[in-house]
Structure 1
Amino acid sequence: MLKSACLILLATVTVAASAAERPNVVLFMADDVSWNDYGCYGNTAARTPNIDALAANGIRFDRAYLTASSCSPSRSSIITGRYPHNNGKAAELHKPISGHLPWFPETLRDAGYYTALSGKHHMKSTTKRPVPFDHVDGGKNKNNSGGHANWVKVTEERPKDKPFFFWFAAYDAHRGWDSDKQWDTDRYGPMHKPQDVIVPPFLSDDAATRDDLASYYNEVTRFDYYIGQVVAELKQQRVLDNTLIFVMADNGRPFPRAKTRLHDSGMKTALVAHWPAGIQHTGPSVSLVSVIDLAPTILKVAGCDVPETMQGVSMQPLFDDSSAGIRQYAFSEHNWHDYEAHGRSVRHGDYMLLKNFRTQLPLQGPADSVRSPSHEKLLALKEAGQLSAAQQDVFLAPRPEVELYNVVADPHQLNNLAGNPAHQKQQSELAAVLEQWMDETGDSVPEKISPDTFHRVTGKPLPKDERDETGAITPGQDRNADQINAAGPR
């Protein structure tokens, strides 16, 4: 009897010790920020000292890609570890994830983690199910509508006897630039100057566009400030070393030829990982990763089983060797976001192949971008017949069915190599891989998908009687893709 009691006591102590050693996890997510708008990724104008410090002492992933450059489909994909069309209706903006699919925070909570979401949520289910977070708040107060007002408080007030997972999601840098009205120089430093911003070649370099970009940079800096505040609190609590921190964004900047695009300006994300106790090899990593790899990674480091529904792979090998390869291909989708669209892309090595299934339509960006000063300046240049080739791409229709880019030699993807005999081998191989992925994961190109709900020139909502949604279905719906767990080529 005494021996049995001792064994039970020993088992209890062992479980308690194991629970205490399990890492905490914090996922910081910006809203609408492109990969190259952080200091650690080479932007000399945007101030991100706290993110830069995490990158300097962790891993800066230089080839990290989203599955969708669209808010809710991207977040839904991250939280389920699945491609957008495999999440059911959630392939499109504002639509719910199929109810039978697990979200990784609920697996963590079942394993004894304290889970909290503070800031932008933007995810929902087709069924009534328990929220997978012990704490949820919108992250706002009267002086801060950026989504990060409560991050430090949540960190301070967490239960101290449990490991924790925090989903800290800002509204920065979503338009309308509320940080300008709420700016605190003592906290954030001086506002960014329009003359200092970096104007990409597909935008107009003029005063209005520079003002627009400066306000956007302010949002990025405010996001960075609150990351620094949380890191300081974790350090004060002496838990920073055993906390795995990820910093990323859900999609590209809300400017023309960025947000919703399959090109790097929309689909590539900054991704920084920091975990002193668990990352053995720090520095930049050129290993290809997809954001669907985050869910299995977090579950693995927490000692949890990864549900069979998850299509990503664990990034853990990269924590020991940042040059280790975990995948050869990264796939992305462009589905409805304010406007009818259907496109797919695959990345491998130095190349990205994009296939457009709605070639008759321009890719001018979402409605909030269309209403922006930056877009208005491009429209003025268009009317004057003064657009450069890079700027013309915002309005191009019909578009090429296939685009192929060397993303190293052509970082803005302005030189389409599709049809070039010198690159036929890469085009053929990537086209075959993309077709295989679509087939194995149950993707489809429905004859009728969700139509435009905003005017393509003004960005204003279309009257309901001008929206014919009869018979429209989401990609993969006709193939029951939400029931398919196959990941396709990896």
Structure 2
Amino acid sequence: MKTISTICAAALLIAGYAFAEKNSPRPNLLLIVTDDESWFEHDIYGHSNLKTPHFNRLAEEGVLFTRGYVSAPSCGPSRAAILTGRNSWELEQGACMLSYFPKKFTSVMEILENNGYQSAFTGKPWGPGICPLEGQTGMAGKGFYDLKIRDYEKRDYLNCFDVPANFAAFLAERDTGKPFIFWAGIHEPHAVWPDQQEAEKLLKEEFNVDAGRINQDPGNNPYLQPFGFYYELLNADRQVGQMLASLEQQDLLENTLVLYIGDNGSDSDPGGLLEDVARRNGTDMDPRRMKGKNTAYDAGCHVPMALMWKGTVPPGRVIDDFIKSIDIAPTFLQAAGVQVPPFMTGKSFLELVLSSQSGRIDPERDFVMTGSEWHTHPRTTRTIRDGRYEYIVKYPNADRPERIVELYDLQNDMWEYKNLIDNPEYAPVRERLKAMMAEAGRRTGDPRTTGNLEILEETLRVQDELWPHWGAEIRKRAAGKPYSGLKEYLGGD
């Protein structure tokens, strides 16, 4: 008897090939992944006056996702989840930043490369992490890093690699007989940022933006960032425009599916300094600080997301369904007419973007679950979010002996200031979301639900020992050698 998963995989394969046949040649795929920005930083979402015209163009000439989420609020696990179509907690050591990406998990870029696509990348790939014998050594395809930004020696607040120029170099030398998948990993707006005075000057000179007016209008988000963050956000947006221009110059835009997503939420506490101080003092962070990157809150995993596929995807639409980054890989595969492997947990949203509908479309996309394990110290959390409420579990770890549970009504408290977990009026909501988290955890094999924590706990122990040594030396020592050797070097058993 055929299993349900086999039947579903066959159906997706048939649908994918039928779509590819109808819309031949197969589309090129450009995946733009930025570093550290929450959804509300873009004016098109209605909570900022900082205009990002090139992201807006993707949304206006394609589809804007209002509920785009990544699997984890930390870049390494988030990027691994995007590549594999699996939740971060399904990736063993890949669930922890600075750990490794096990070879057993195949990336969408590798699958497409094995099915006739040319695969390439530039900028920030998967990571940061180490590459021991058991881990993947890098991204599938050829990396393009020859071209650097102007005056990079004097602009250490920007990454030195010129992402748009390297993408253009790829287009110039690509195999025109093959479609391509290209990963464009824009480093910005990740800290380090230019200082306030320099950023204010750059904002005015390069973007004609008055720094003092950013997000001062009523209704904008209350989390004021350093000016340098806003400069780098606009710099990232400019890079998107340059890549779109390269596609247009090569007459490729009509048959290129362009998808933009942030890898995790905005960081208003670079390096976790404020959180470290609060933890040492035994207090919570000031609730006025952004609950973004590396946190369990909505701003940590709710990211900007837009898709444009000119001539194929009906433009000017807004989709309110919950879309998760693990859905990107199966969507790309289906668009390319390649079978979606059964190990991918994500679900293709190709039918949604090909429709002419807006708003809520698929009734099954009514919630999202995210989680975190370790960033620069334990981040053991799970979060489940439906159309109105958010339920958070913070698990005990070396820094926190107790289990903490929180509940927020995002319809009336979108910035999550008021924890309702002990309010008896919300007990039914709490129990409903608690049950949903348990069911989703069982279905996806979440170790925090199943109790199969051996791999995770061992990885967390190694990560705590690794962090004080982090740098080029530890990456060099780990490269191509057994992971057990790294544990011995760090003083483990």
* TM-score range for the pair, normalised by the shorter chain length: 0.7 to 0.9
For residues 21-420 of structure 1, the aligned pairs below 5 Å read 21-123=25-127, 127=134, 133-138=140-145, 141=148, 143=150, 144=152, 145-146=158-159, 147=161, 148=163, 149-177=165-193, 188-190=206-208, 193-197=211-215, 213-256=226-269, 257-280=291-314, 282-319=316-353, 320=355, 321-322=357-358, 323-325=360-362, 326-358=364-396, 361=399, 401-420=404-423
Displacement after TM superposition at 1:152 (Å):
2.6
The Cα shift of 1:409 comes to 2.1
Scaled by the length of structure 1, what TM-score is found?
Answer: 0.74
Return the letter of the residue paired with 1:350.
R
Task: Name structure 2 gaps, 5 residues minimum.
Answer: 1-17, 153-157, 270-290, 471-493
| Aligned residues between the structures | 403
One-letter amino acid of the counterpart of residue 378, structure 2:
E
Go from structure 1 to structure 2 and tell me whether the alpha carbon gap of 1:68 and 1:60 turns closer, same or farther (over 3 Å shift): same
- CA shift at 1:202, angstroms? 7.5
Deviation of 1:156 (Å): 3.3
Question: Which secondary structure state, in structure 1, belongs to the residue aligned with residue 41 of structure 2?
Answer: coil
The 1:201–1:51 alpha-carbon spacing in structure 2 relative to 1, beyond 3 Å, is closer
* In structure 1, C-alpha distance between the alignment counterparts of 2:390 and 2:295, rounded to whole Å: 13
Higher relative contact order by CA 8 Å / sep ≥ 6: 1 or 2? 2
SS at match of 1:405: strand
2:12 corresponding residue in structure 1 = none
Instruction: Please give the per-residue CA displacement for 1:215-261, whole angstroms capped at 9, x wherever unaligned.
Output: 00111111111111111121222221221111111111121421111
8 Å Cα contact 2:101-2:136 kept in structure 1: no
Structure (1 or 2) with the greater helix fraction = 2
8 Å CA contact 2:101–2:135 kept in 1: the answer is no
Change (3 A) 1:178 1:111: farther
Residue pair 2:389, 2:407 contacting (<8 A) in 1 also:
yes
| Whole-angstrom distance in 1 between the partners of 2:391 and 2:61 | 33
Q: CA deviation at 1:268?
A: 0.3
Code of the residue aligned with 1:41 in structure 2: it is Y
| Whole-angstrom distance in 2 between the partners of 1:85 and 1:332 | 9
Task: Provide the rounded CA distance (Å) in 2 between the counterparts of 1:242 and 1:120.
Answer: 25
| Letter paired with 1:339 | H
CA 1:289 to 1:139, structure 2 compared with 1: closer, same or farther past 3 Å? farther
CA-based RMSD of the aligned residues comes to 3.3
Deviations 1:17-43 (Å, cap 9, x if unpaired)?
889521111111110111111122224
Output the amino acid matched with 2:330: P
1:48-74 deviations in Å (ceiling 9; x for gaps): 111111111111111111110101000
How far did residue 309 of structure 1 move? 1.0
**Partner residue in 2 for 1:478:** none
| SS at 2:374 equivalent | coil
Distance 2:95 2:135 in 1: 19
Does the CA-based 8 Å contact 2:390-2:410 persist in structure 1?
Answer: yes
Please state whether the residue corresponding to 1:341 is helix, strand or coil. Answer: strand
C-alpha contact (below 8 Å) 1:188/1:221 kept by paired residues? no
Paired with 1:136 and 1:18, the residues of 2 have a C-alpha distance of: 32
Q: Which residue of 1 aligns with 2:447?
A: 444
Q: Which residue identity lines up with residue 190 of structure 2 in the other structure?
A: H
Is the 1:353–1:430 contact (alpha carbons within 8 Å) kept by the matching residues of 2?
yes
Moved more, 67-76 or 149-158: 149-158
Question: Structure 2 vs 1, CA of residues 192 and 277 (structure 1 numbering), >3 Å: closer, same or farther?
Answer: same
Corresponding residue of 1:434: 437
SS of residue paired to 2:234: helix
Q: Is the 8 A contact 1:340 1:452 kept in 2?
A: no
Q: Unaligned 5+ residue runs, structure 1?
A: 1-13, 204-209, 363-397, 455-460, 465-490
How far 1:85 sits from its partner (Å)? 1.6
- Closer, same or farther in 2 for the Cα pair 1:431/1:100, shift >3 Å? same
Distance 2:407 2:21 in 1: 52
**Cα distance in 1 between the residues matched to 2:314 and 2:149:** 42
Evaluate the alpha carbon distance shift between residue 261 and residue 185 of structure 1 in structure 2; reply closer, same or farther with a 3 A threshold: closer
Distance 1:184 1:155 in 2: 30
8 Å Cα contact 1:46/1:197 also seen in 2: yes
The one-letter amino acid of 2:324's match is S
Report % sequence identity. 26
User: Which letter maps to 1:426?
Assistant: V
Corresponding residue SS for 2:268: coil
Shift in alpha-carbon separation, 1:237–1:18, aligned structure 2, 3 A: farther
TM-score (normalizing by structure 2)? 0.73
The 1:422–1:50 alpha-carbon spacing in structure 2 relative to 1, beyond 3 Å, is same
